[in-house]
Structure 1
């Protein structure tokens, strides 16, 4: 018999964060108190729930099984409690969303702001990540990515218009190195490369033939390799080379002439961002409100 149900809630948070320190901060208790509570829970269940090291904590096989059973139950309890807030014309609760920085900053920021203003008691935790995250393993409520292809047990809802790409450089760079007139000319230039966090390969540049509409792939090369578009933009504005970047990231610089677009007739666009989430989340009033605010 579990003496304190709060220990089960604490167990879920530790399993989610993989850290007693992070879990304690989220729960508002001391690390030592949380660790003691988890040992007490293990003693009551007579099962080891966590493998502990000096740097991390991970669920055992039994702990992971318990987490998978309990998490949907506690999630359902929270949803039902949060649903009561509709009787006072508001919603509360916390939503954790994972996505690329571009999706948050340029695609849906105004929508998120409107959502928070509409529901002042709701907390949003946004995690910016270049790599494609497993939102279930990462304990996120939802993720954001381009396109609508998701796993079978996921739902995808479009939340932005198509993402237009642009090949850009500063006038200073082009004055010194010349302006590319074709895709083949790019081999003669310094290309600002992005190392992809998941595959660890370089981001392959894609263009569209203005005549045949066929996809053209080009593997860039250059002296500088970075792992995010903030550094790509910074390097481009520092006259270090050509950058293939979402056009809205350099919209102001294009207007002022700080950068110019190259081979615009070859520019490609990608299907817009989609919010994807486990199908069990669709019954949550709080999550429904978020989806309705973000969808296009």
Structure 2
């Protein structure tokens, strides 16, 4: 492969991933006309169109999608290896990109960073809050944090928290005029605050229950839908409906009496949060340090 081909392929990858010549040009620190000419030259040499261009969007053609899936991971591997080499110095440094749920970021990531951030000022962590199941390879994240049962089998998984338990909660004011549900099916008679899952085609999260080996998923209904667990919590506190959240997130409000818990016997513990990342990832000193700080150690 000629050096010019490698440069042009990197230009194509940037446009295909950003779905925009403008954003890709900014990312590569070159002008948009130069980038457009580079990609056009690559298409002419290959004899095939790689991108469909309209005034509103840029999308890969079938050939472009194939090229993206084939060479993209290879360039990513080279970038990781070069990054690891640049970080081989006495003091760990570098940027780590992680996707996590809102509660995991608050309860798991922030306490770990509070320990290492003052000691290693050259380590930067970018945390993207996402309630969905993000493909960390395609989205170019270094790692993700999700409950262990959701982590793909081909990933390396490191336990970073204790077992989790869900809780159905509502405010005392909400229950003033309503009967408390005794079974998950009773939730269909309640105003429930829903969670929007962007990675599942925009569907709403089905509340999951289990008791005596019997599993039950309930698709609840209500007036409000959010894509943030923090918003669900605030809605419940204001008496706007029932919310389905992790026990740790609501425990302070249960203790203070601001929230009331129902259906506790239908919410057994399940595998806690795990940090996960591709098995082929070459761990940098900074990444290894963060993993060690996050690793769960039962007391």
What band does the TM-score fall into relative to the shorter chain?
A: 0.7 to 0.9
Note the residue ranges of structure 2 that are not aligned, 5 or more in a row.
none
Q: What does 1:81-160 align with in structure 2 at a 5 Å threshold?
A: 81-92=83-94, 94-148=95-149, 150-151=151-152, 153-160=154-161
Cα RMSD over matched residues? 3.3
Name the residue aligned to 1:189. 190
Give the stretch that moved more between structures: 116-125 or 17-26.
116-125
Q: Secondary structure at the match of 1:255?
A: helix
Q: Secondary structure at the match of 1:155?
A: strand
Shift of 1:169: 1.1
User: Aligned equivalents of 2:46 and 2:59: distance in 1?
Assistant: 17
Deviation track 1:189-228 (CA, whole Å, cap 9, x = no partner) reads 322233443055443323343xx36444444233444444
Q: TM-score, normalised by structure 2?
A: 0.79
Name the residue aligned to 1:250. 250
Deviation track 1:157-191 (CA, whole Å, cap 9, x = no partner) reads 22222222112111111122243445454444322
User: Aligned equivalents of 1:59 and 1:109: distance in 2?
Assistant: 38
Name the residue aligned to 2:206. 204
Note the residue ranges of structure 1 that are not aligned, 5 or more in a row.
none
Shift of 1:62: 4.4
User: Aligned equivalents of 1:77 and 1:247: distance in 2?
Assistant: 40
Q: TM-score, normalised by structure 1?
A: 0.79
Query: Post-superposition, which runs of at least 4 consecutive aligned residues in structure 1 deviate over 6 A?
Result: none
Q: Secondary structure at the match of 1:75?
A: helix
Q: Secondary structure at the match of 1:125?
A: strand
Task: Give the count of matched residue pairs.
Answer: 293
Shift of 1:241: 2.0
Q: Secondary structure at the match of 2:14?
A: helix
Matched, 1:19 2:20: yes
> Does the aligned pair in 1 maintain the 2:84–2:282 contact within 8 Å?
no
